[in-house]
Amino acid sequence: MARESCASEAVSAAAVLFAWGANSYGQLGLGHKEDVLLPQQLSDFCKSGCIKSVTGGGGHSVVVTDGGGLFVCGLNKDGQLGLGHTEEVLRFTICKPLLGCPIRQVACGWDFTIMLTEKGQVLSCGSNAFGQLGVPHGPRKCVVPQAIECLREKVVCVAAGLRHALATTDTGSTFQWGTGLASSGRRLCPGQNLPLFLTAKEPSRVTGLESSTVVCAVAGSDHSASLTDTGELYVWGRNKHGQLASLATFLPLPQRVEAHYFQDEKVTAVWSGWTHLVAKTETGKVFTWGRADYGQLGRTLGSPEAQKHGEQDSSLAFQRLQNSVPSPLHCLTGAAEGTSAAPGAGMNMACVGTAPSPMSGLQLQCRPCRHHQDSSSWAVGRATPWPYVSCRHTLHHARISRLPAHSQMPQRPLNLRVPWTERDRKERPLVTSTQSHSDLTRSWGWGGMKETIQ
């Protein structure tokens, strides 16, 4: 009865969208380019209560409404907003080229956007410099969403990484395109022929999953993962931070994460951050693994100094071994069906409770919680309802009966100019003639960190 009461209250309340964080390109949709330290409400671009989901990329944001409408704002130099031009947009604007074409899901890459229609067709727009739009002979950028014609099967899920994308079909197959993982693969697997799906500029079936039925796929900056209908998790791509639960530096083909890592339970949901992963099992246990130097795993893996100066620390190998082993977060054990996580770059948010689905927007008393003194040891608290944390900024919508007072907002001011460690700056990749340093280095969301794309 208590659960029914909560659900009823959620239905009667209005969905409200909040935004905060880095705003260099107007990606918060507030009409300006100033960084925002406290959540600000947006309510003037669509009908109250109709927001279905929010997502974001390197500098752009997308809102999907219950009716399948698409609203976009932010960086648009490659046409990633799909508006037919390349001008920045400071307020959420309806994507007119898609009027009359209801959208079911959107995945934002660094500088491109993948859309899934209600009919199961996949559209793309933005940069195509690495074939991430799935149109091999198309231009280097596309300013209007175009169909990926060679994806002839009905698609049920899409995902996007830094420079690659994935689609899962209703028959349980996974397709990947974009050459974002190819350079790492050639460097880390010398003399080895990479599978076609790592080098293709059009959707190519992911080999190694033929005996499995995939229900969804997720992507990080340079890795991918898929979840099967039997609760098995497969991973592939770059493994610099142990996010593939393997000691290999690169996995060119999908490799199953052994069930014993999840205490022999089936995995029912998986989420990917930029360089780490989060999984939930059938009994509600939540596991994390991968990069950990900003506490994004929700557990302590050594002293703060060891985390900051790990490259010189003799225990680095052991530390990475710890990172690569999925481990449970006991404070989230028992997470109910509908629990949602939103991994970002260097952070996580998790919402646990009795919500029937992540899209319901059920109001929960949630909060991000961090030990400020020790950046390597985060306390995982109950987080903001159903957020999407992009590379640079944070958007979330929640069904609330009244606006929160300022006393309910984060008490610690966010410093959006704090750089990451000197170690990260030393690992910055070379800039090609088609990329600028501003393209490769951008500030990231919660906590105001700045990360170099690796």
In DSSP terms, which residues pair with 157 in a beta bridge?
A: 168
| pLDDT tens by residue, 138-176 | 889 999 999 999 999 999 999 999 999 999 999 999 999
- Judge contact between 120 and 154, C-beta under 8 A: yes
CA distance 341 to 284: 13
Of 71 and 446, more confident: 71
Q: Provide the 10 A C-beta neighbour count for residue 359.
A: 16
Does the pLDDT of residue 320 top 80, yes or no?
no
CA distance 91 to 310: 42
Q: Can you spell out the DSSP letters for 82-151?
A: -SSS---EEEEEE-GGGTTS-EEEEEE-SSEEEEEETTS-EEEEEE-TTSTTS-TTS-SEEEEEEE-TT-
Percent of the chain with pLDDT over 70: 63
Give pLDDT, residue 450. 34
Percent of the chain with pLDDT over 90: 52
Q: Under the phi-then-psi rule, with left for phi > 0, alpha for psi from -120 to 50, and beta for the rest, what region is 99?
A: beta
Confidence of residue 337 (pLDDT cuts 50, 70, 90): low
- Judge contact between 170 and 212, C-beta under 8 A: no
Confidence of residue 405 (pLDDT cuts 50, 70, 90): very low
Domain ranges for the chain: 62-386
CA distance 109 to 187: 23
Highest mean pLDDT among 5-19, 291-305, 409-423: 291-305
Torsion of the alpha carbons at 392, 394, 395 and 398, rounded to the nearest 10: 170
Confidence of residue 340 (pLDDT cuts 50, 70, 90): low
Confidence of residue 49 (pLDDT cuts 50, 70, 90): low
Radius of gyration of the chain (CA): 20
| pLDDT tens by residue, 27-42 | 999 999 999 988 888 8
Q: Could you confirm whether domain 62-386 is CATH 2.130.10.30?
A: yes
Residue located via tokens 């190819």: 182
| pLDDT tens by residue, 80-99 | 999 999 999 999 999 999 99
Q: Summarize the confidence of residues 419-436 as an average pLDDT.
A: 39
Instruction: Output DSSP code: residue 305.
Output: H
